[in-house]
Amino acid sequence: GQSLEQPSEVTAVEGAIVQINCTYQTSGFYGLSWYQQHDGGAPTFLSYNALDGLEETGRFSSFLSRSDSYGYLLLQELQMKDSASYFCAVSGQGGKLIFGQGTELSVKP
Amino acid sequence: DGGITQSPKYLFRKEGQNVTLSCEQNLNHDAMYWYRQDPGQGLRLIYYSQIVNDFQKGDIAEGYSVSREKKESFPLTVTSAQKNPTAFYLCASSLGESSYNEQFFGPGTRLTVL
């Protein structure tokens, strides 16, 4: 079957750096995506890794190791507005996404 | 502005009634998706369509039906056969069926069955 694991909750302070890990077991793996969802809102795309290594987009970076079936999202210079749920998602055949359960990030002042 | 619209935002229905959730996109995307999200959970795929007049079941299709008669529209019907329909329903679209395409989500419909 297909499964993804990520921590359910993470807490950090404003200005800090936080890493959200994601491990996966899946067939037909094409890449790992990250989405952000504020409470009650629509998920929005943050990043995508198809190859091993680090992708950087502003304050957010995402890493993938295909051999370890592992990736992470790194958020730097945390701001209060970064408080949200973060989902990793595996891309499969036909554009399908399989989502993890989500990590709720709380940023404290 | 291009985007995805879902209506209504909140929907209440009595148990045993079918209900249809609307999803429209003007992004000229070929692929469209329906997800269900329960409190504190991830998104689970109900149905998806990669092209007009074709759609496939996702992981939790039982009790749901869809149609894709137009590229812009992908309505979801929650039937009385769905045992626990109260949830947040999200529609998404993407460019196509290549191995990766960013999915764009609508604002969602929160369905409550009384």
Is any Cβ of chain A less than 8 angstroms from the Cβ of B108?
yes
Q: What is the mean pLDDT of residues A83-95?
A: 88
Is any Cβ of chain B less than 8 angstroms from the Cβ of A36?
no
The span from the CA of A66 to the CA of A58, in Å, is 23
The confidence score (pLDDT) of residue B108 equals 96
Task: Provide the 3-class DSSP secondary structure of residue A10.
Answer: strand
The confidence score (pLDDT) of residue B99 equals 52
Note the pLDDT tens digit of each residue in A5-29.
Answer: 999 999 999 999 999 999 999 887 8
What's the first-to-final CA gap in chain A, in angstroms? Answer: 41
Is any Cβ of chain A less than 8 angstroms from the Cβ of B43?
yes
Q: What rounded mean pLDDT belongs to chain A?
A: 93
Note the pLDDT tens digit of each residue in B53-103.
Answer: 999 999 999 999 999 999 999 999 999 888 899 999 999 999 876 656 789
Residues of A in contact with B56 (CB under 8 A): 94
Contact criterion met (CB < 8 Å) for B107 and A31: no
Residues of A in contact with B104 (CB under 8 A): 45
Percentage, residues of chain B above pLDDT 90: 77
Q: Which residue of B has its CA nearest to A29?
A: B99
The confidence score (pLDDT) of residue B63 equals 96
User: Is residue A107 predicted with pLDDT exceeding 60?
Assistant: yes
The confidence score (pLDDT) of residue A26 equals 84
- The verdict on whether omega for the bond into residue B107 sits within 30 degrees of 0, i.e. cis, is no
Contact criterion met (CB < 8 Å) for A94 and B56: yes
Closest CA to A19 of A28, A31, A10, A27: A10
Q: Which residue of A has its CA nearest to B42?
A: A101
The span from the CA of A32 to the CA of B34, in Å, is 20
User: Is residue B28 predicted with pLDDT exceeding 70?
Assistant: yes
More confident of the two residues B39 and A64: A64
pLDDT category of residue A1 using cuts at 50, 70 and 90: low
Q: What is the mean pLDDT of residues B48-55?
A: 93
Q: Which of A62-71, A90-99, B29-38, B92-101 has the lowest mean pLDDT?
A: B92-101
The confidence score (pLDDT) of residue A4 equals 93
Contact criterion met (CB < 8 Å) for A42 and B50: no
The span from the CA of A16 to the CA of A83, in Å, is 13
Is any Cβ of chain A less than 8 angstroms from the Cβ of B56?
yes
